[in-house]
Amino acid sequence: MTMLAHPLKRLTVALSLPTLLAACALQPTLPPTAQRLNGSQIGLQVNADAPAHMAPSNWWTELNAPELNALMQRALSEAPSLAQARARIQRAQASIENAESSERAAVGLSLDAARQRFPEHSIYPPPLAGTLRNTATLQASASYEWDFFGRHQAELNAALGSAQAARADAAAAQLMLSSQLARSYVQLARVLAQRELLARQSAEREQALALVRQRSQAGLDTAQDLRAAELPLPELRRQALQLEEQADLLRHQLAALSAQPMAALKDLKPALPAALPLAGEGALGLDLLGRRPDVVAARWRVDAATAQVSSARAQFYPNISLGAFVGFNAIGFNNLLKSGSLQYGVAPSLRLPLFDSGRLRAQLRGSAAEADAAVAAYNGALLEAVRDASDQLRSLRSLQEQKTEQAAAQAHVQAALELARQRHSAGLGNRLAVLNASQSLLQQQRQALDLQAQTLDAQLQLLRSLGGGWTEAKP
């Protein structure tokens, strides 16, 4: 073994220098890669005040709706989409373990046994030739590949980036699920509240129709007045059927999101929660980039794709490894563990692909293209995140202005109703005028209810667009 070491070492050194030069010459020149957008390019400010308070990760509890909390808990534990996300995390973790194994020596143990006939016309001399014998090999082996050119480290970095992206994707899926469930819950509460107001409208229209019939029979109103009093009722009944359908569909959606049978929530009747205590309308800051899990996932995919480019580049350099084995080989099982059956050896190797029909060049160009695609996807996710949050802020501002105008209109209608009641009490007006004024007030109340639900929905979407209180865990 000592006599062989020096020739092997000299051979390795002699081969390494020309192959390194050849590897450098083989690498193609890649075009400049795409550049990631930064916060200043899309208007994000460094020290901007947050447009909403920093919500906790379980932000839905601030709605003070125990039924929603129960639905959310079941959805986050049972939803198939989140189970898929968790499986992708486990797969990514397995890739990390596989990449880490390349940094360690591989050790194996084998035992082979056979009964074979040694042919006369072969390399085996008498008395083996022409006989049937037992053969056995017991051997331990070890091999190690040096990562002189960073290929293993690049593969590990790519696996780590993919795993972090999978975790961020899981957080994004959870945020989307919780947002959809909370918004559906709010919409169901809105529909049920609208149905109650609609029932009051229908009841008062029925009363108004009865009064018009009496006046028509007494000759005080015409047939045209009677037809006008009858006209709103079919439309109100149509709206009632529409609201009933919407309520059932929303219950079905909530059941699907929380992984339950469609009929499980047929008796769910939530009340519309109050608006969330969101504060401020400040400009979007750079912290948005770290609070949106979809943006963070896209950033990690860029890092993983960049590491894949480094790994593909390292394929052009030599692969240097060392193998060794020790064990026993014998003819006849009784001779296997005797000292004369001992065998051992060492096998250093250096490999460099010189002519591979362009496979490595194509692989490197493909990896570079994947990196460019990842950068483009990151830029797209970043632009979409800023647009999404900006839209929700704009919608909230508009809804606040609409609520102010609607409150003023409702106040006027309320005053008109009070006046109609006073005139009716004083004998100066009839009951029909009071009912008509009450109809206008109910219509304004329905508009106010819609604005309240739209405001809460916009707040929920703003929380989602700002990351829902998610923070990235350190790798």
Whether residue 25 has pLDDT greater than 60: no
From CA 403, how far away is CA 400, in angstroms rounded?
Answer: 5
Measure the CA dihedral 181/183/189/192, to 10°: -100
pLDDT for res 179: 95
- At residue 47, the pLDDT reads 58
The H-or-E segment that residue 108 falls in is strand 106-117
Is the pLDDT score of 19 beyond 60? no
For residue 330, the one-letter residue type is A
Of 103-112, 183-192, 350-359, the least confident: 350-359
Q: Per-residue pLDDT tens for 445-470?
A: 999 999 999 999 999 999 999 888 88
Between 100 and 32, name the one with better pLDDT: 100
pLDDT at 26: 54
Q: Which residue has the higher pLDDT, 392 or 289?
A: 392
- Kindly report, residue by residue over 116-169, the tens digit of the pLDDT: 988 888 888 888 888 898 999 999 999 888 888 888 889 899 999 999 999 999
Q: What stretch of H or E contains 132?
A: strand 132-146
pLDDT band at 281, cuts 50/70/90? low
Q: Is the pLDDT of residue 390 over 60?
A: yes
Rounded to an integer, the average pLDDT of 54-74 is 89
Location of structure tokens 């901007």: 48
Mean pLDDT of 60-86: 93
Residue 370 clears pLDDT 70, i.e. is over it: yes
Provide the pLDDT for residue 2: 40
Distance of CA 420 to the CA centre of its chain: 57
Whether residue 32 has pLDDT greater than 60: no
- For the range 256-264, what are the long-range contacts, defined as Cβ-Cβ under 8 Å and sequence gap of 24 or more? 257/71, 257/75, 257/79, 257/177, 257/180, 257/181, 257/184, 258/71, 258/72, 258/74, 258/75, 258/78, 258/79, 258/181, 259/74, 259/75, 259/78, 259/79, 259/80, 260/74
pLDDT at 399: 93
Q: What is d(CA 309, CA 466) in angstroms, rounded to the nearest whole number?
A: 32
Over residues 201-226, the mean pLDDT reads: 84
pLDDT tens digit sequence for 47-63: 555 555 456 788 999 89
- The chain-wide mean pLDDT, for the chain, equals 85
Q: Is pLDDT at 17 greater than 60 in this prediction?
A: no
Residue range 358-380: mean pLDDT, rounded: 90
Domains of the chain in sequence order: 1-27+104-146+318-351 (2.20.200.10), 43-103+150-317+371-465 (1.20.1600.10)
Q: Tell me the two tokens of residue 282.
A: 């400040």
> pLDDT (tens digit, 9 = 90+) per residue, 299-322?
999 999 999 998 988 888 888 888
* 21 pLDDT higher than 60: no
What digits encode the pLDDT tens for the residues 323-350? 898 999 988 888 888 888 899 899 888 8
Distance between CA atoms of 468 and 335, rounded to whole angstroms?
71
- The yes-or-no verdict on residue 275 having pLDDT over 90 is no
Angle between helices 293-314 and 359-425 (to 10 degrees): 180
Residue 279 pLDDT grade (very low, low, confident, very high; cuts 50, 70, 90)? low
- Which residues make Cβ contacts (< 8 Å) with residue 128, sequence separation at least 6? 118, 331
Provide the strand spans (E) within 264-360: 319-331, 342-351
Nearest-angstrom CA–CA distance, 75 and 67: 12
**pLDDT > 50? residue 1:** no
Q: What is the dihedral of CA 393, 471, 184, 53, to 10 degrees?
A: -40
What is the mean predicted confidence (pLDDT) over 265-275?
92
* Closest C-alpha to 288, from 475, 456, 463, 457: 463
State percent of the chain over pLDDT 70.
88
Q: Of 211, 326, 192, 196, which Cα lies nearest the Cα of 266?
A: 192
Lowest mean pLDDT among 10-24, 219-233, 313-327, 364-378: 10-24
Give burial (CB, 10 Å; 0-12/13-18/19+) of 3: exposed
Reading the block at residue 107, the tokens are 């050790």
Q: At what angle do helices 151-217 and 66-78 cross, to 10 degrees?
A: 140
Tell me the C-alpha distance between 290 and 297, whole Å.
10
pLDDT of 29: 59
Phi, psi of 331 (to 5 degrees): -100, 115
Residue 285: DSSP 8-state:
B
